[in-house]
Structures are given as structure tokens and as C-alpha cells.
């Protein structure tokens, strides 16, 4: 829960001033720092970035009455459905954030020394 909140808050703030791809090192570093399992890190990264992008894309689409989303959806095989473009944007962003967080968790697990198995 804490990792999800950190990712969503910091990604939202960072993307106001930096390029979109800044979520990748951010999710990677936060997941490596928190030391959670790979699955939990992926879910936190996916939801943290995906929900943030869904809210932002929905807000931007609402502000221009869905005109831009409709036009872009006509170029893609989405049948001109602007809301499908908003959902696709959230899923793609969520996958980027989730995979970056998963990689961070796996790197942390790879470099963390394991306790020796006691002899019997």
C-alpha cells in the first residue's frame, strides 16, 4: 500500500516537470528500496502509474470534450472510441510502471545476501 501511494504521488509530481519515461527509474528505485516481493511490486507499480495516467487522460479528454481522443482513436484500430484510447493509455502506462517495479524488486533480491542455511 505504501509503495502504491509513493509511486502514484511521486510519478504524478515528476511528470508535471519531466518527460513521461521518468516513471521507469522512479518505479525501479522505489520498488528496490521497499524490498517487497516481485508480485506485490508489480501490482503497486501497475496500479500506481495506471491509475494516475487514467485520471490524467480522462481529465484531459473531458476538458476538450473527447475531440482529440476521438481523432486519435480513429487512426488506431479502436473504432473511434475515445474512451478506449484513455483505457489503453492507462494499461500501457501501468505495464511500464509495473515492469519497472518488478525489475527493481528482482534486482534488490539478487543483490541482497541470503542468510546461510544452518547445518544439522
Residue 61 has which C-alpha cell? Answer: 479528454
Task: Please tell me the predicted confidence (pLDDT) of residue 116.
Answer: 76
Task: Please tell me the predicted confidence (pLDDT) of residue 88.
Answer: 94
Q: Tens digits of per-residue pLDDT, 35-57?
A: 889 999 999 999 999 999 999 89
Task: Please tell me the predicted confidence (pLDDT) of residue 79.
Answer: 87
Cα(11)–Cα(9) distance, rounded to whole angstroms? 6
Which residue ranges of the chain lie beneath pLDDT 50? Answer: none
Amino acid at each position: 500500500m505504501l509503495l502504491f501511494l509513493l509511486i502514484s504521488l511521486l510519478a504524478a509530481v515528476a511528470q508535471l516537470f519531466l518527460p513521461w519515461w521518468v516513471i521507469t527509474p522512479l518505479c525501479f528505485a522505489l520498488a528496490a528500496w521497499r524490498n517487497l516481493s516481485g508480485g506485490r511490486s508489480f501490482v503497486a507499480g501497475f496500479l500506481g502509474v495506471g491509475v494516475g495516467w487514467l485520471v490524467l487522460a480522462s481529465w484531459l479528454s473531458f476538458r476538450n470534450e473527447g475531440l482529440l481522443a476521438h481523432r486519435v482513436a480513429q487512426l488506431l484500430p479502436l473504432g473511434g472510441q475515445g474512451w478506449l484510447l484513455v483505457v489503453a493509455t492507462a494499461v500501457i502506462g501501468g505495464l511500464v510502471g509495473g515492469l519497472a517495479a518488478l525489475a527493481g524488486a528482482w534486482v534488490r533480491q539478487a543483490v541482497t545476501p541470503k542468510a546461510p542455511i544452518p547445518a544439522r
